[in-house]
Amino acid sequence: MSTWDITTIVEELKQARQDWRKSQHNFREFDGRELPSKNQVIQIAQNLCGILFPMRLGPNDLRQESEDFYIASTLEQTLYSLYEQVKLNLIYENKRTKNKDAIPEVDENAKRIVNRFANQLPQIRRILDADIIAAFEGDPAARSVDEVLLCYPGILAITYHRIAHELYRHGLSLLARLVSEAAHSKTGIDIHPGAQIGAGFFIDHGTGVVIGETTIIGERVRIYQAVTLGAKRFQVAEDGHLEKDYARHPIVEDDVVIYAGATILGRITIGKGSVIGGNVWLTHNVEANSHILQGDNQARYV
C-alpha cells in the first residue's frame, strides 16, 4: 500500500492541465509531442557549432583530413533533427493561431525552411570569423584567436545568436528562443534572437548584458559587461495587454563602444563612432562621434 495518495494527486494534476488548456483555448489535433524538445534543440545548436568550427568545437579526435566527412555526416543528422523540430514549431504555431488550413503543408514548409537555413551556414561562419577577430583585436588579454573561440563567453553567445537569429528570420520564434536561452544560461548574456547584429561584434566579459528583440546593431560595435539595450516603456493595447511587434529598442550604429553598466533605453539612435561611458543612463539620441560620460548623476556631452 502506497504511503502517499498518488491517485488523488494524479487526478488533481490532470484537472489542472485541463483547466490550463481550456483557459488558453488549446485544442488537440495531433498525437505525440506537440512542442519542440528543449534538449534536442540544444543538441542541434551544439552540433552546428562543431560544424561551423570542426577543429575547435568538433570531436577531440578529429583530424583535418577528415573534416569534410565529419561535417557531411554530422550535417545530415543535424538537419534531419532540425527538420523534426521545425515541424513541431510549425504545428505549434498553427495550433496557437488556429490556422488549421496550414497544417497539411507543414512537411513541405519545414523542408524549405531547413534547406534555406542550411544554405546560410557558410555566411554565418564568415560573420563569426569577423566577430572572433574583433574580440582578439579588441582585448589586449587575448593571446590567440583560438583562446577567444574556446574561452570567451561573448563569442559563445554571439555564435548561438547567429544561429538563433537565422531561425527567427524564418518565423521559428520558439526554436530561436530555445537556442538563445541556452546561451543565456551558459554565459549570463541575454540576446533576444530578433536582435539584428552586424559583423565584427564583440562583448567583453559579458555577464549581465541584455539586448532586446528590436535592437539594431551596426558593424564593429564593442560592448562591455552589464550593458542593457532595452525598452524605455511598454505600449498597452485597449484591452489592457502589452502590445507586441513594434520597434522599442535602440539603434546602435557602426564603430560604437559602450562601456560597462550603461543602460540605453527606447528607440533612440547612438550615432556612428560614439563612445558611451560606464554606468550612463541614456534615453535620447546621440549624434555621431559623441562621447557621453556619467556626471552629476546624468549623462552629459563632452
Q: pLDDT tens for residues 88-142?
A: 999 888 877 766 666 668 999 999 999 999 999 999 999 999 999 999 999 999 9
Q: Label residue 243 by pLDDT band (50, 70, 90).
A: confident
Flag whether 11 is in a domain: no
What confidence score (pLDDT) does residue 36 get? 93
Exposed / middle / buried, residue 188 (Cβ in 10 Å: 0-12, 13-18, 19+) = middle
The answer on pLDDT for 9 being more than 90 is no
C-alpha cell belonging to residue 168: 527567427
171 and 286 together in one domain: no
User: DSSP letter at 144?
Assistant: -
94 and 212 together in one domain: no
What confidence score (pLDDT) does residue 28 get? 52
| Residues 252, 235 contacting (CB under 8 angstroms) | no
C-alpha cell belonging to residue 37: 524538445
Flag whether 25 is in a domain: no
293 and 183 together in one domain: no
Number of H helices, E strands in the chain: 9, 15
C-alpha cell belonging to residue 211: 539586448
65 and 124 together in one domain: yes
Beta bridge pairs of residue 127: none
Q: Which of 158, 189, 220 is the last residue before a domain boundary?
A: 189
Quote the percentage of the chain above a pLDDT of 90: 78
48-77 per-position pLDDT tens digit: 999 999 999 999 999 999 999 999 999 999
137 and 230 together in one domain: no
159 and 54 together in one domain: yes
C-alpha cell belonging to residue 66: 577528415
Q: Which ranges of 171-274 does DSSP label H, i.e. alpha helix?
A: 173-187
Residue type present at position 155: I
Flag whether 23 is in a domain: no
Residue type present at position 144: S
Distance of CA 234 to the CA centre of its chain: 21
Element (H, E) at 50: helix 38-52
Flag whether 13 is in a domain: no
Q: Label residue 302 by pLDDT band (50, 70, 90).
A: very low
Q: Label residue 283 by pLDDT band (50, 70, 90).
A: very high
Q: Label residue 4 by pLDDT band (50, 70, 90).
A: confident
134 and 60 together in one domain: yes
129 and 221 together in one domain: no
Model pTM?
0.89
What confidence score (pLDDT) does residue 297 get? 40
Flag whether 4 is in a domain: no
DSSP letters for 276-294: E-TT-EE-S-B-TT-EEEE
Range of the domain at 261: 208-302
The CATH number given to whatever domain includes residue 152 is 1.10.3130.10
C-alpha cell belonging to residue 232: 524605455
268 and 182 together in one domain: no
246 and 162 together in one domain: no
Q: What is the mean pLDDT of the chain?
A: 91
Flag whether 22 is in a domain: no
Q: Label residue 296 by pLDDT band (50, 70, 90).
A: very low
Flag whether 99 is in a domain: yes
Other C-beta atoms lying within 10 Å of the C-beta of residue 293: 15
> Span 242-251, mean pLDDT?
90
Q: Label residue 31 by pLDDT band (50, 70, 90).
A: low
173-200 per-position pLDDT tens digit: 999 999 999 999 999 999 999 999 999 9
What confidence score (pLDDT) does residue 244 get? 82
| Cα 104 from Cα 144, distance rounded (Å) | 51
What confidence score (pLDDT) does residue 5 get? 87
135 and 221 together in one domain: no
C-alpha cell belonging to residue 217: 546593431
Residue with cell 545548436: 45
239 and 168 together in one domain: no
Number of domains in the chain: 2
The answer on pLDDT for 229 being more than 60 is yes
Flag whether 274 is in a domain: yes
